[in-house]
């Protein structure tokens, strides 16, 4: 089968199958071999690896993964692309195509079945509208992961890498820090895709921590504290925490916790580091227990 990273081969397949781009699935097919090589290089995939690919599309990156990995499981939500994938990947015997929504798939079961419960590598060109739910779904379900190498909207990649005090810093930045080390491997201009998206993209590699970098008594509660702190990011931390009904924190408890942290009353969540949020959530939990 002809390599799909070459634009004319991709156009041929689009015409052959009369592919209608599904906006609801955020379909943009990569047509740049240099970018594809950068993704494979960044992912560090070898012949020892089982790879989960999310959103293979017409199989452009899947072809590269099949050449590099021991085995690939490609999960595609669009049923109309399954016959296309059967065609474009017909030369490979180390790929399984699954027509499912990745958010409804039991990935822990897949890891057990295909990789004996040892950490897998995930590679994906993710639809922009669903990037965060997919990545957070992987992390929060505690799937055994070695790394996640994804093409995302450039702005999202910047948010993943953001540091305290910057406009991009938020709940996503902290979640990524808690679960992984993030490195942008490449910036990808819009002209590398068919159809051309309206925004630039970036390839980011998330190398998963074997153990979280901070100790926290209740992971779920810490992320609730983080979300509350950024839901109203212009408000003080005290007001943001006490205004969030899901936390069940009084204004006095919020004030006491901030005082115990040694922070000023007018502190905002956007200046706190991950270690600060871990400490803050532990203090708040203790204050709730003392009621």
* CATH code, domain carrying 248: 1.10.8.100
Q: Is 94 left (phi over 0), alpha (psi -120 to 50) or beta?
A: alpha
Quick one: 248 and 159 in the same domain? Answer: no
Quick check: is 70 in a domain?
A: yes
Q: Give pLDDT, residue 23.
A: 67
Domain that holds residue 94: 7-208
Same domain, 100 and 50: yes
Of 25-34, 109-118, 213-222, 281-290, give the lowest mean pLDDT range: 25-34
Percent of the chain's residues with pLDDT above 90: 87
Residue 113 banded pLDDT, cuts 50, 70, 90: very high
Domain count, the chain: 2
Same domain (yes/no): 201, 172: yes
**Cα dihedral 30/34/38/44 (nearest 10):** 100
Q: What is the mean pLDDT of residues 125-138?
A: 89
C-alpha radius of gyration, the chain, whole number:
21
1 within domain boundaries: no
pTM listed for this prediction? 0.93
Give yes or no for residue 1 having a pLDDT over 70.
no
Residue 213 located in a structural domain: no
Tokens found for residue 143: 């799937």
Tens digit of pLDDT for each residue in 221-276? Answer: 999 999 999 998 889 999 999 999 889 899 999 999 999 999 999 999 999 999 99
- Across the range 201-226, mean pLDDT stands at 96
What gap in Å lies between CA 180 and CA 25, rounded to an integer? 27
Q: What is the mean pLDDT of residues 160-177?
A: 96
Does residue 62 carry a pLDDT above 80? yes
């Amino acid at each position: 089968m002809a390599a799909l990273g070459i634009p004319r081969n991709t156009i041929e397949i689009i015409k052959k199958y009369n592919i209608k781009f599904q906006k609801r699935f955020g379909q943009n097919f990569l047509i740049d071999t240099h970018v594809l090589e950068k993704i494979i290089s960044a992912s560090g995939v070898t012949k020892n690896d089982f790879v989960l690919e999310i959103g293979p599309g017409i199989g452009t990156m899947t072809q590269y993964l099949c050449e590099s990995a021991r085995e690939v499981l490609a999960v595609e939500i669009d049923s109309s692309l399954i016959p296309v994938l059967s065609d474009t990947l017909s030369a490979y015997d180390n790929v399984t195509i699954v027509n499912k929504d990745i958010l409804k798939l039991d990935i822990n079961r897949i890891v057990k079945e295909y990789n004996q419960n040892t950490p897998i590598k995930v590679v994906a060109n993710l639809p922009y509208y669903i990037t965060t739910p997919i990545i957070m779904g992987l992390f929060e379900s505690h799937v055994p992961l070695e790394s996640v190498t994804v093409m995302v909207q450039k702005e999202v990649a910047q948010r993943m890498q953001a540091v305290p005090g910057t406009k991009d810093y938020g709940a996503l930045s902290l979640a990524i820090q808690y679960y992984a080390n993030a490195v942008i491997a490449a910036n990808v201009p819009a002209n590398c895709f068919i159809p051309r998206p309206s925004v630039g993209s970036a390839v980011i590699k998330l190398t998963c921590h074997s153990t979280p970098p901070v100790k926290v008594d209740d992971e779920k509660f810490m992320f609730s504290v983080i979300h509350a702190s950024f839901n109203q990011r212009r408000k003080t931390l005290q007001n943001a925490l006490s205004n969030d009904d899901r936390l069940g924190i009084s204004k006095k408890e919020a004030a006491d916790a901030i005082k115990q942290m040694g922070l000023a009353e007018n502190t905002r969540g956007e200046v706190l580091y991950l270690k600060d949020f871990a400490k803050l959530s532990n203090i708040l939990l203790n204050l709730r227990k003392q009621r």
